[in-house]
Every structure is written in structure tokens, then in C-alpha cells.
């Protein structure tokens, strides 16, 4: 931001002062506000993760009380889910790049967008407020299962209100994106000429919009139950706690696609750019996003196989769960087919995209194991599940998030980072990540339950490996972030289109001016990924 020689005013400089940031109506600035907040919470969440791993280095009570440990994993879960991963890609890269990819200058409702951000901040304050107010952070796990969440003395009410407010922030972001996509595409760009990231955001937004209200109302019921002392999930008045689980997962399973779909969209952007080749199966990828969003609503029961749900319901949910794997694998095959015979340019973003595929494969396949009725009886609530969802959320979405950060970094800041450092950080992150979580999968199969501060001595070996992995993971994350931080301030100037991409964001300057485009962007002929020199794709 020190370069003053640019012949135009970037969005960084268009307005001055802290107020011009906090109350900005520019989607790019809102996106950066999100980026800074989300990264902060990610680091807080990761520190809690490290703390848990330290406690688990050795069997027995070492550094935290059992009760504190329960609060730590709950806060870790709440932060990582509601403050990091759900907003991550949509709120940061969706906000910044959706208008650019569509060739417009903002989202449909800029004020609403700012409002979503402020809701996010309020929600975050509530979530962290539990640290100092009431009887400490909730100790229920991020799922707030009744009846325990209603009985415990910890400050569940405030955590739940936080999730409620954050839900509304997420709903409004989704609403904004849907209208933006319907109304603000550049003239000549039909739905089928949209970049795939826009498609994935469209599918995601529908989930945010239609699933989140269900958890909103469910959380309100929990609040009411705590306030009035009686409630709808209270067995003493005839309530059924399993119904809470239904309501919770009606949202929270689709929510995993709020996490996964945008990540898949990122991968679908990165791969054609670095293969310099038309994406294989554009429509298959686009429509499979919609299919995933749709089928994603039908499978929530797979979280309740051991909760006393009826047999027939369990079979049906299990079968439906297997169906979601189909559109997901359609995507993977299409990505691989795009790479095949492409002129591959190995850069940091591509590495992250490939790591996404690798990690997501493990995450997805372990997910199917959980979705199989018989296997899940054994694996439910063990470390197998913990390993599985970290592979999907961190190994999948987390890696895609960092991939997107490296992909669009030169566009956002107009600077290039040190690629060697970035690649090194990537490599150690991938290794550290796998050392951290693969042992959890093994531990789960061995039978180690989740959500305990302690374990039997026979689990010691793999737990220690895992803890060592957590150190490597976090050190790599620090290197990765510092590298980008340095580059944003002192990096070499990057060209407007460093990766030879052809989606519309590369047609404007880096960093973009306030209005994004100073002339009409040109949509590439023959589809958004029709690379002029590419070998023909079949």
C-alpha cells in the first residue's frame, strides 16, 4: 500500500480514515474486514486446538481441568464453525470476487452487506463474551444438545444467542448473493456463462437462506427453555430431546455444504487457470453444486443413528447419504480430467487445490464410512469422527481458503508474495496436517471416544504423533500468514493478470479501483474458461 505511483485510485485509497472502513459500502472493503476478523478468530480457534492437543499429549490430567477441557473444545468448535468456516469463503472471497466475476461494481444490497458484517461482529462478541460473563463458556460441545445444554450452569444462553445472530448474518449474505447473481450479471452473461465459483456461491446461498432459519428457531427454543425453566425439549413436560437433534441437524448437515461448496468453487476456478485449459464438464460441475445443495437437505439423520431414531428412518437416511457422494465425485473426476493433458503451471494456488482434492478424498471416504449404518455404530462419537470432519473442514475448506488467498492475493493487494516461502509453508502444512489428523482416524478405529481430556494408556502413541503434527501445522500456518503479511506491505508489484486467467476479475487493475471496472468487461467467447491457446478439450 506504499506504492503511490499507480495512475488511478485503488479502492484502498478511494476514501480515508478508519470510519471509511468500518462503515464502508464497498464490497471489497467489507470482504477485507471479514478477512481480518475471520483470520483472527481462526488463530484463536487454532490456539485452543493446540491447547487440547497439549493436554492430550499424555494420558491423565496435565494442564487443564476436565471441566475446562469441555469448555475449550466447545469454544474451539463454536469459533471454528460459526466464526471461521461458515463465513470464510463466502464472506471473504464471495464478497470480494462475486461482483468482479460477474462484471459488476457491488453486491445487490451494499448496505445489507455492511449490516451482515456488523451482525457478525456482534455475534462474535457474544461468543467471546462467554469467556468473561456468566459462568464461563458453554461446555456442551458445539452441538448444544438438549437436555444437557438446558441443565448445565455454564453460559450456554449467550453462546446460543451468538450462534443465532451469526446465523442471521449468514442468511443475509446468502440473500444478497442470490439477488446479485439474478440481477447484476454483466449484459450477455447468462447463468451458464457464469464462472463456477459464482455457481457454487449460488448453491451455497440457497442453503444459507433456507437451512439457517431452522436452527435459528431451535436455538431460540433452547434460550426459552433456559429462561423459563421449562421447555420443548424437556422430558418432564413430555418433550423429546431427540427432536432437538432432528432440528439441529436439519440445519447443520446442509451447513457442511455451506462449508464445502464454496471450496469446490474455488478449486474449479484455480484448476482451469493453472492448466490453461477449458474446464472439463462445466455444466456437470455447475449443476452438481445445485444437486449437492439439494440432496444435502435430505441426509441429516445420519448424525442420529445411535440416538434412538427408528430403524426404517435410519436406513433411508443412510441410503440418501450415499447419494450425496455422487455429485461430489462428479466434480473430482471433472477436475482431474481438466488437468489431464493441460499445460500445467505449478504455483502455490494449484498446490492448495490439489491438496484439497487429496484431503477431501480422505474426508469424503471416511464420511461414507460414518454414513454406513453398521460402521457408524462402532465409530460414532470416536476420534474417527473428529479426524473425518477435520479432513473435510480444515483439509478441504481450510486449504481451499488458503488456496484462494494465494490465488487472488495479487488481485487484492496488487503485490506478489514470495513464492518459495509460500510453497514451503504449503508443503509443511500439508505434512503437518496429515500427521495431526490421520492418527485420529486410527485412534477412532481403536475405540478412543471424543470429547474427553483423558484416555487409556494404549492410545498414547498415536496421540503423541498427533500432537507433534499440531505443532508442525501451526508453525506452517504462522509462516504462511507472515509471508502474506510481508508481501501486502513490501511485496513486489504484481501484474494485473499474473496467472493468465480469463475470468473477468483479471481484466481490471490490481488492486481494483473503487468501481471495479473503468470500462465494460468483455466476457470470453465460448464460455468462462475458454482459453484461447488451449488444446481442444473433448
Q: Output 253 or 406, the one with its CB closest to Cu ion.
A: 253
Nearer to ligand HEM, 458 or 515 (CB): 458
| 99 vs 363 by CB, closer to Cu ion | 363
* Contact map string, positions 274 to 313, toward Cu ion, x by CB under 5 A: ----------------------------------------
Three-class HEC string of 313-335: HHHHHHHHHHHHHHHHHHHHHHH
d(CA 310, CA 377): 14
Q: Confirm or reject binding of residue 518 to other proteins (CB under 8 A).
A: yes
Contact 453, 66 (CB under 8 A): yes
The label of the residue with cell 474427553 reads 452
Given the complex with other proteins, which of 11 and 433 has the nearer CB atom? 11
Nearer to Cu ion, 194 or 260 (CB): 260
Nearer to other proteins, 95 or 463 (CB): 95
Q: Which residues bind ligand HEM (CB under 6 A)?
A: 46, 49-50, 52-53, 73-74, 76-77, 80-81, 84-85, 141-142, 386, 390, 393-394, 398, 450-452, 470, 473-474
Asked if 388 interacts with Cu ion (CB under 5 A), we say no
Q: Which does 241 bind (CB under 5 to 8 A by kind): other proteins, Cu ion, ligand HEM, none?
A: none
CA–CA gap between residue 279 and residue 534 (Å, rounded):
11
Residues 511, 414 contacting (CB under 8 angstroms): yes
Task: Provide the Cα torsion 402, 406, 412, 417; round to 10°.
Answer: 130
Cell numbers placing 394: 480444515
253 binding partner (options ligand HEM, other proteins, Cu ion, none; Cβ < 5 to 8 Å by kind): Cu ion
Which one of residues 37, 49, 52, 105 is an interface residue with other proteins (CB under 8 A)? 105
CA distance 443 to 460: 10
Place of cell 439439494: 294
Question: Which positions from 242 through 261 interact with Cu ion, judged by CB under 5 A?
Answer: 253
> Which residues lie below 8 Å from residue 315, measured CB to CB, with a gap of 6+?
373
CB of 194 to ligand HEM, least distance (A): 27
Q: Which of residues 160-179 bind other proteins (CB under 8 A)?
A: 171, 175-176, 178-179
Taking the least distance from each CB to other proteins, the nearer of 9 and 345 is 9
Is 504 a residue that touches other proteins (CB under 8 A)? no
53 within 8 A of 467, measured Cβ to Cβ: yes
CA distance 73 to 140: 9
Contact indicator for 71, 154 with CB cutoff of 8 Å? yes
Residue with cell 448444544: 144
449: three-class secondary structure by DSSP: strand
Residue 183 C-alpha cell reads as 440481477
223 lies in the site for other proteins, by CB under 8 A: no
Residues 284-313 that bind other proteins (CB under 8 A): 297-298, 301, 308-313
Closest contact distance (angstroms) between CB of 438 and ligand HEM is: 13
Q: How far is the CB of 259 from Cu ion (least distance, A)?
A: 11
- Report yes or no: 89 and 481 within 8 Å, Cβ to Cβ: no
| From ligand HEM, other proteins, Cu ion, none, interface partner of 513 (C-beta below 5 to 8 A by class) | other proteins
The footprint of Cu ion (CB under 5 A) covers 253
Amino acid at each position: 500500500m506504499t506504492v503511490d505511483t499507480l495512475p488511478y485510485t485503488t479502492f484502498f485509497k478511494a476514501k480515508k480514515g478508519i470510519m471509511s472502513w468500518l462503515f464502508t459500502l464497498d464490497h471489497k472493503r467489507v470482504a477485507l474486514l471479514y478477512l481480518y476478523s475471520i483470520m483472527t478468530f481462526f488463530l484463536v480457534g487454532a490456539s485452543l486446538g493446540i491447547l487440547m492437543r497439549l493436554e492430550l499429549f499424555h494420558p491423565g490430567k496435565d494442564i487443564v481441568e476436565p471441566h475446562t477441557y469441555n469448555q475449550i473444545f466447545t469454544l474451539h468448535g463454536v469459533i471454528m464453525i460459526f466464526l471461521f468456516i461458515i463465513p470464510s469463503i463466502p464472506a471473504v472471497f464471495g464478497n470480494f470476487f462475486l461482483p468482479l466475476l460477474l462484471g459488476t461494481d457491488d453486491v445487490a444490497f451494499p448496505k445489507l452487506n455492511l449490516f451482515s458484517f456488523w451482525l457478525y461482529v456482534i455475534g462474535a462478541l457474544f461468543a467471546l463474551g462467554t469467556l468473561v460473563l456468566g459462568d464461563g463458556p458453554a461446555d456442551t460441545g458445539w452441538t448444544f444438545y438438549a437436555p444437557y445444554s438446558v441443565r448445565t450452569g455454564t453460559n450456554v444462553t449467550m453462546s446460543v444467542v451468538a450462534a443465532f445472530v451469526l446465523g442471521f448474518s449468514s442468511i443475509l449474505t446468502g440473500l444478497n448473493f442470490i439477488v446479485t447473481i439474478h440481477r447484476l450479471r454483466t449484459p450477455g452473461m447468462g447463468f451458464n456463462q457464469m464462472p463456477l465459483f459464482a455457481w457454487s456461491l449460488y448453491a451455497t446461498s440457497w442453503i444459507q437462506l433456507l437451512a439457517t432459519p431452522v436452527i435459528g428457531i431451535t436455538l431460540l427454543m433452547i434460550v426459552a427453555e433456559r429462561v423459563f425453566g421449562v421447555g420443548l425439549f424437556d422430558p418432564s413436560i413430555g418433550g423429546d430431546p431427540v427432536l432437538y437433534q432432528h432440528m439441529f441437524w436439519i440445519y447443520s448437515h446442509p451447513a457442511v455444504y455451506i462449508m464445502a461448496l464454496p471450496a469446490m468453487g474455488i478449486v474449479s476456478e484455480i484448476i482451469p487457470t493453472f492448466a490453461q485449459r477449458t474446464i472439463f464438464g462445466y455444466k456437470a460441475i455447475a449443476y452438481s453444486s445445485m444437486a449437492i445443495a439439494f440432496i444435502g437437505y435430505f441426509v441429516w439423520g445420519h448424525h442420529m443413528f445411535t440416538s434412538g431414531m427408528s430403524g426404517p428412518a435410519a436406513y433411508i437416511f443412510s441410503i440418501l447419504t450415499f447419494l450425496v457422494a455422487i455429485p461430489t465425485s462428479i466434480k473430482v473426476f471433472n477436475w482431474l480430467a481438466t488437468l489431464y493433458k493441460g499445460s500445467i503451471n505449478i504455483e502455490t494456488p494449484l498446490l492448495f487445490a490439489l491438496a484439497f482434492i487429496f484431503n477431501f478424498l480422505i474426508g469424503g471416504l471416511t464420511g461414507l464410512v460414518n454414513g454406513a449404518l453398521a460402521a457408524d455404530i462402532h465409530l460414532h462419537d470416536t476420534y474417527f469422527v473428529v479426524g473425518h470432519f477435520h479432513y473435510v473442514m480444515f483439509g478441504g475448506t481450510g486449504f481451499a481458503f488458503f488456496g484462494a488467498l494465494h490465488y487472488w492475493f495479487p488481485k487484492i493487494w496488487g503485490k506478489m508474495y514470495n513464492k518459495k516461502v509460500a510453497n514451503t509453508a504449503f508443503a509443511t502444512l500439508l505434512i503437518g496436517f496429515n500427521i495431526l489428523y490421520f492418527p485420529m482416524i486410527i485412534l477412532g478405529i481403536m475405540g478412543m471416544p471424543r470429547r474427553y481430556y483423558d484416555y487409556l494408556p494404549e492410545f498414547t502413541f498415536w496421540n503423541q504423533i498427533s500432537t507433534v503434527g499440531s505443532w508442525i501445522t501451526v508453525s506452517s500456518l504462522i509462516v504462511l500468514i507472515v509471508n502474506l503479511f510481508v508481501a501486502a506491505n513490501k511485496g513486489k508489484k504484481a501484474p494485473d493478470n499474473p496467472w493468465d486467467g480469463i475470468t473477468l476479475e483479471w481484466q481490471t487493475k490490481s488492486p481494483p479501483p473503487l468501481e471495479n471496472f473503468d470500462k465494460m468487461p468483455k466476457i470470453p467467447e465460448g464460455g468462462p474458461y475458454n482459453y484461447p491457446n488451449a488444446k481442444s478439450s473433448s
